[in-house]
Amino acid sequence: MSKPKLYLFAIGGTGSRVLTSLTMLLATGIKVNAEKIIPMIIDTDIHNGDVEKCRNTIKSYNVIQQAVYGSGVEMGEDQGQFFRTEIQPPKELNISGTDYGTLKEMVSYDTLNANGFSKTKGLFDLFYSEQNKNMQLEKGFLGNPNVGSVVLKNVIESRQFKEFTQDFGQDDRIFIISSIFGGTGAAGFPLLMNVFRDETTTINNGNYINNAIIGGVSVLPYFQVDVEKFNSNESAINSSTFITKTKAALSYYDRNLKKLVNALYFVGDTSQSNYDNFDGGFDQKNPSNFIELVAASSVIDFLDYEPYVSKKNELSDEQSYFEFGLKQNSGTVTLNQLKTDDLKKKLLKFHYFNVYVSNYMDNALKDDKLAWRNELGLSSSYHNEHFAKHLKTFSTMYYYRWLFENSLDKHNRKFTPFDLSIIINSEDLIKDPHGKVPVKISVSEEKLFTLVNGIPAKNNSGIFKKDRIKFDEEFTRLAKEVVDLQYNNKERATLSLLYRGMEKIINDRFQF
């Protein structure tokens, strides 16, 4: 059986933030049971800052992934190495709220009586308040799923959705990421499930989609926003209603969706983060959060959920439910508290890889006497070439910022797997929530022993005593082995060498 494609629907701001964390997990080389991942972003707030951050992160990932594995590499080769999984550029099924104005304008409310729809108008007045009817749709649904359910039906008519149905294969799977306490996610999840499970559907490949294995993660409240802005009419978002909306949505899901979805994951946190209150738009760029990382891990878990079946009626149990919990209810989550040693090692190897790329690699590639560089046939100018520059960009613009945001004081539950005191421009990053400033790193020889919170490195081997020189000695010992593999391009050989070197270093110097 071939591996399935995964069509990953990321709905609303939470969907995009979870997708960003998933991209970081995939960059570590964590294995997934999928041929490729095809993100489908749904957000009517087309200028949303969270969507922009997600889009840019995946774009940077793709440049590296395609340079290394884009041609001539079989699916089973180099499994587990950095950036191995293919993530296609997101298809954005975004229906711009600016195209509709208000909800009243969208449904031609003022002409319903004249066109013989007086009863429809009466029902509309019953279900929607004046505030709902006059709400500008430009920045999404502002926590109103009843509004979202009307607007999002237009997603099904979009070109991108039709392309999805045309490309869907009989072994492919679907996963939906959505929050349950807002507007877009709470409305979008049931809408999609009803479309996918409609046995009378006329969409392309409707039979494949109807019988596909479908999973989803419902993100429960995990942050709150400044309620004073709501009270003073500066924002339409009121986080004090999040729990009430969650209970109502869960009740609806229980009555209407539990027989439609095959694997449903729930994540949330009572120890909530505190965010600025923005209705949407470019300024809505919330910092990455540990709960989003947990939600991202559910995507990987879903792909391993009964991996040898491809249709819902082949599952041993057509409905399964999953929750996530921590062994210790701590305000700080370290590497030791993660679920599996494999995930810990993946994050650890990738972190040291980024330390090398951001702090040492430029000087190494300029060194004409460097044995591993010469063995791989790299020129002294390789540090300025496309691939090497993009490795550093991903590291300093996306990876470190993602770590930094997870560790911020505005989270009552921080994710701090690594010592981030090596970031020397923290104040600049705090003043720059839109991610335009690259992270600057400075790592002393002593710091290399203590980069991992809770897991000290063994200091008897000397690998960290002369920082870059010792890293390069390890790479040089492995260089001939990599050359013998006869890789088809220098980028693949370079990344493979760095991965193998980090794997050797981590396995020798850390004990789990």
416 in the same domain as 306: no
pLDDT in the model for residue 107:
63
Cβ-in-10-Å burial (0-12, 13-18, 19+) of 350 comes to buried
371 in the same domain as 300: no
402 in the same domain as 289: no
pLDDT-derived band at 309 (thresholds 50, 70, 90) equals: very high
430 in the same domain as 352: yes
436 in the same domain as 374: yes
312 in the same domain as 195: yes
369 in the same domain as 287: no
Cα–Cα nearest to 18, from 46, 57, 59: 57
304 in the same domain as 394: no
Please indicate whether residue 265 or residue 242 has the higher confidence score (pLDDT).
265
Distances (CA, A) of 111 to 56, 102, 124: 43, 15, 13
With respect to residue 124, please indicate whether it lies within any of the assigned structural domains: no
- What's the CA gap between 193 and 207, in Å, rounded? 14
Q: What is the DSSP secondary-structure string of 370-400?
A: -HHHHHTT--TTGGGSHHHHHHHHIIIIIIH
pLDDT in the model for residue 354:
97
DSSP bridge pairs for 10: 41, 177
344 in the same domain as 314: no
Cα–Cα nearest to 447, from 407, 480, 419, 414: 419
pLDDT-derived band at 143 (thresholds 50, 70, 90) equals: very low
Residue 350: domain span: 337-509
CB environment 49-69: b (16+ within 10 A), e (fewer): bbbbbbbebbebbbbbbebbb
Last residue of a domain, one of 291, 323, 355: 323
pTM for the full predicted model:
0.88
With respect to residue 277, please indicate whether it lies within any of the assigned structural domains: yes
- What's the CA gap between 377 and 371, in Å, rounded? 10
pLDDT in the model for residue 40:
95
Residue 36 has pLDDT above 50, yes or no: yes
With respect to residue 341, please indicate whether it lies within any of the assigned structural domains: yes
CATH number at residue 286: 3.40.50.1440
Last residue of a domain, one of 323, 354, 387: 323
228 in the same domain as 300: yes
pLDDT-derived band at 141 (thresholds 50, 70, 90) equals: very low
With respect to residue 47, please indicate whether it lies within any of the assigned structural domains: yes
In this structure, the number of other CB atoms found within 10 A of the CB of residue 328 comes to 9
With respect to residue 122, please indicate whether it lies within any of the assigned structural domains: no
Block residue for tokens 């019953």: 126
Where do the H-state alpha helices sit in 304-378?
A: 341-359, 361-366, 371-375
- The pLDDT tens digits of the residues spanning 377-414 come to 988 777 777 899 999 999 999 999 999 999 999 999 99
487 in the same domain as 360: yes
Which whole number is the average pLDDT over 27-37? Answer: 95
Residue 511 has pLDDT above 80, yes or no: no
- What's the CA gap between 318 and 264, in Å, rounded? 11
Please indicate whether residue 478 or residue 330 has the higher confidence score (pLDDT).
478
With respect to residue 177, please indicate whether it lies within any of the assigned structural domains: yes
> Total structural domains in the chain?
2
With respect to residue 115, please indicate whether it lies within any of the assigned structural domains: no
Specify whether the CB–CB gap between 93 and 156 falls below 8 A. Answer: no
481 in the same domain as 392: yes
- The pLDDT tens digits of the residues spanning 216-254 come to 999 998 887 666 554 455 455 566 677 887 888 888 888
With respect to residue 398, please indicate whether it lies within any of the assigned structural domains: yes
Last residue of a domain, one of 296, 323, 350: 323
Residue 149 has pLDDT above 90, yes or no: no
